[in-house]
Structure 1
Amino acid sequence: MGRNEIERGRCSDMLMNEKIKASEVELTGLQGENLGIVSTKEALRMAKELNVDLICLSLATSPPPCKLVSRDEYQQQRVQEKKKERKAAQGHKTKEIRLSAYIEQHDYDTKKRQAERILHSGDAVQLCVRLEKKETQQAKELIEQLVKELGHCGRQEKGIQVSGKQVVAVLFPC
């Protein structure tokens, strides 16, 4: 654990139970209730009585804030935090949905539901209409309509891009 991590109050391995060396801590109970500032010995005694762990949340303040948590709950919370960090580090994936300028209503609804599902999962959607003949106007209108209908779950950062062979719009999750 580096000195900078301690100064910022973040440690990859949180201090637990007897590893907490402060003379007193600001204690939070199992249901999030504030128990005030108590001695570390008293906090450890309470943790043993309740058969839970005493966890130091930050080393940035004095007295350090600590919380009583069950070991299972703490482990589960750490796993969820690591998953979120990994997903944030990866960024958004962009998934492409291809459409035809002359799409039937049922197929349109299916593609719309698929785009909603992708946006709700946290990934971006690239709507792409491949052009065959002089379909540019129909393709652009189709994409505009789809972007408008997906406005509740996605936002468009750039406009609709029209190139020689396709019309594209990218939606990011809200």
Structure 2
Amino acid sequence: MAREYRANERIRVPDVRLVDEQGEQLGVMPTRQALEIADDRGYDLVEVAPAARPPVCRLMDFGKFKYEATRKEREARKARRGRVTNELREVRMKTRIGEHDRLAKTRLAKRLLGQGSKVKVSVMFRGREIEHPELGMVLLKAVADYLVDDAMMEMPPRFESGRMLSMVLAPVFNDPPKSEKTDSEESEKILDRA
């Protein structure tokens, strides 16, 4: 969350240490005088270090400063979200899942793998479905085949807690393809060597 800064008339201390818009120290002075300097130069007086004695205030465009601070915070949040995680996410299916629903769950797994998370794909068996584990194996094989370019199998399908057949997929980070040289570039290289 963005820090709250006091600016202009909200600064309630008698003296401040003033830093101008270029970062040069103007020294310790009464707050009224610092406000007059800020007003003359067309800037706001912003308290940047309230814990210091006397507090440090800076001349700046406060609106622009707040905008930059929120933009940096938003970018930091986005960077944290996009960072590779070793988090294990789970996608669950039932043996009687429809084809479209299976594809939707598989695309979800692909998106999670793309974000850098490991994905545990589980098939739940209900009632007498447990007598046909091959249905779950077929389902997991179809998911693994769809994700063959994006994932490698970290743990093959196996039963967990009796009624769940699960496999764990880890993301594969492919290197970008190298640019292929055209025939003319190759022939030029050969001619240069001759």
Which structure: larger Rg? Answer: 2
TM-score (norm 1): 0.46
- More contact order relative to length (CA 8 Å, sep ≥ 6): 1
